[in-house]
Chains A and B, each alone.
Chain A
Amino acid sequence: MNIIGPDYLVFGVDDIAACTEFLTAFGLEPVNLTENGGLFAALDGTGIIVRHKNDPDLPAALPNGAMLRQQVYGVRTDADIVAIADELAKDRKVHRLADGTIETTDDLGFALKFQITVRKQLDMPAEKINAPGAPAQRAPNELGVWDDMPAKPRTLSHNVLFVPDMEAATGFYCNRLGFVITDELQGAGPFLRPKANDDHHTLFFIRTPEHMKGMEHLAFHMGGPTELMVAGTRLMNKGFESFWGPGRHKFGSNWFWYFKSPLGCNVEYDADMDKHDDSWVARQRPISPEASQMFLLQFREKWIPGPGPKP
């Protein structure tokens, strides 16, 4: 079961215009956008699908009306889809669609879809830095920042679910779909990585009461910490509102900056996440502000110490 990670996250919203404003300002590209919604894509084609919450084509909403309506997972080949369908059909309905994709629900009632991944292979440099003692990554005269530098989300990174039953959630994704636990924040939940992705996590669970079931946040990978800071600063300067960050997490080592959104969840920029293989042994730490971040900064308006006294 070569699951790569989320291709699309599908939302049923009550304000498509607001979601369009937010997601385009965030840096995603509208694709086939109409007044009924559309796809907002990162550079590799993954992204957010937004529809009106009453759109009959959407999978059913959870009883609490959560805006998240489906998680669409990308896999490598048809054989992976068949393997997932065979496994899940043992104890639930699996709908095989004409286009070769399958739809079903997980053990908590979240709607799932599996498809051959839409991810385009990106060929772009990571943020380049220069440091004494190491070969320079930027050529002479190559600048690190410039005013209109690009800072676009490259790919859908991960999503985080509020789940009332942690054992059911972990059991389903690990035992049935082959995810592995990379680390665990005790009191919140585990970080999960699917088999065909070496990112520290594409999925994280937070234990909550039943009425909170839904999306806590979703995140896109940026090209590096500078792009994350630039993109977040541009949002702040346009009046969008930060929820948490910028900062750098400990588990996963990824930089983060979370923004509130009209999608019913926070939307995060992340950058420079750890990679893992099967030799990694999961760490466990009780959740706390100290355990969850290496450092946390607060945005402020640009300022300089001056002008000083005239000469």
Chain B
Amino acid sequence: MELCRKNDLEEGQARGFTVAGFDRKIILVRRDGRIRAYRDACPHYSAGTPMAWKTDAYLNGARTHLVCHAHGAQFDIDTGKCVSGPCLGQSLTAIPVTINQSGGIEIAAQTEGEESV
């Protein structure tokens, strides 16, 4: 499923997408040319709560980490691992990303039985 074109995600930018089949937005983030996708669900509380302080505002000021803006948890952009804050050591749920031939950023559709809880 294509979320946007590669050109629509600038270096040092994060964006959230509402995607059919997912109960949370999907965050796309690009840093050092690499593109990662995560569920917009902070692991601090078991329900997994959305992380931006306003639409698409998922990054810290220096754009080096994804942040949950409820209590400031910081996540490594490459691995999704929480490096400081309430959920230290826990991780965001990564979603595999592929770039298709026409330059679109795709994630795999949510298949039955994999529903996130």
Question: Which residue of A67, A211, A239 contacts B54 across the interface (Cβ within 8 Å)?
Answer: A239
Query: Could you tell me which residues of chain A, from 210 to 227, have a CB within 8 Å of some CB in chain B?
Result: 211-212, 214, 216
Query: B24-48, CB under 8 A of A: which get 1 and which 0?
Result: 0000000000000000000000000
Query: Could you tell me which residues of chain B, from 28 to 73, have a CB within 8 Å of some CB in chain A?
Result: 49-55, 57, 60-62, 68-72
Query: Could you tell me which residues of chain B, from 66 to 89, have a CB within 8 Å of some CB in chain A?
Result: 68-72, 84-86, 88
A15 within 8 A of B: yes
Question: Are B84 and A65 neighbours in the complex by a CB distance under 8 Å?
Answer: yes
C-alpha gap A14/B72 in the complex (Å):
11
Question: Which residue of B60, B84, B85 contacts A15 across the interface (Cβ within 8 Å)?
Answer: B60
C-alpha gap A170/B62 in the complex (Å):
37
A208 within 8 A of B: yes
Question: Are A15 and B61 neighbours in the complex by a CB distance under 8 Å?
Answer: yes
Beyond A239-B54, A241-B50, A260-B53, whether A18 also contacts B61 by CB under 8 A is yes
A238 within 8 A of B: yes
Question: Are A260 and B69 neighbours in the complex by a CB distance under 8 Å?
Answer: yes
Least Cβ distance of B32 to chain A in Å?
19
Question: Are A266 and B70 neighbours in the complex by a CB distance under 8 Å?
Answer: yes
A-B contact count (CB 8 A): 60
Nearest B residue (CB) for A212:
B86
Beyond A14-B62, A214-B72, A241-B50, whether A64 also contacts B84 by CB under 8 A is yes
Nearest B residue (CB) for A265:
B71
Question: Are A241 and B71 neighbours in the complex by a CB distance under 8 Å?
Answer: no
Question: Are B53 and A241 neighbours in the complex by a CB distance under 8 Å?
Answer: yes
Count A interface residues, CB 8 Å.
27
Q: Contact residue range for chain B?
A: 20 to 34
Question: Are A211 and B53 neighbours in the complex by a CB distance under 8 Å?
Answer: no
Nearest A residue (CB) for B59:
A15
- Chain A residues with CB under 8 Å of B52's CB are 241, 260
Question: Are A261 and B61 neighbours in the complex by a CB distance under 8 Å?
Answer: no
A27 within 8 A of B: no
Query: A252-271, CB under 8 A of B: which get 1 and which 0?
Result: 00000001111011100000
Question: Which residue of A15, A239, A261 contacts B55 across the interface (Cβ within 8 Å)?
Answer: A239
Least Cβ distance of B45 to chain A in Å?
10
Nearest A residue (CB) for B55:
A239
Question: Which residue of B54, B61, B72 contacts A241 across the interface (Cβ within 8 Å)?
Answer: B54
Query: A273-292, CB under 8 A of B: which get 1 and which 0?
Result: 00000000000000000000
C-alpha gap A15/B57 in the complex (Å):
12
A172 within 8 A of B: no
Least Cβ distance of A223 to chain B in Å?
25
C-alpha gap A14/B60 in the complex (Å):
7
Least Cβ distance of B72 to chain A in Å?
3
C-alpha gap A261/B57 in the complex (Å):
10
A22 within 8 A of B: yes
Q: Can you list 23 pairs linking A and B with CB atoms under 8 Å apart?
A: A14-B61, A14-B62, A15-B60, A18-B57, A18-B61, A65-B84, A211-B84, A211-B88, A212-B86, A214-B72, A239-B54, A239-B55, A240-B53, A241-B52, A241-B53, A241-B55, A260-B51, A260-B70, A262-B53, A262-B61, A264-B69, A265-B71, A266-B71
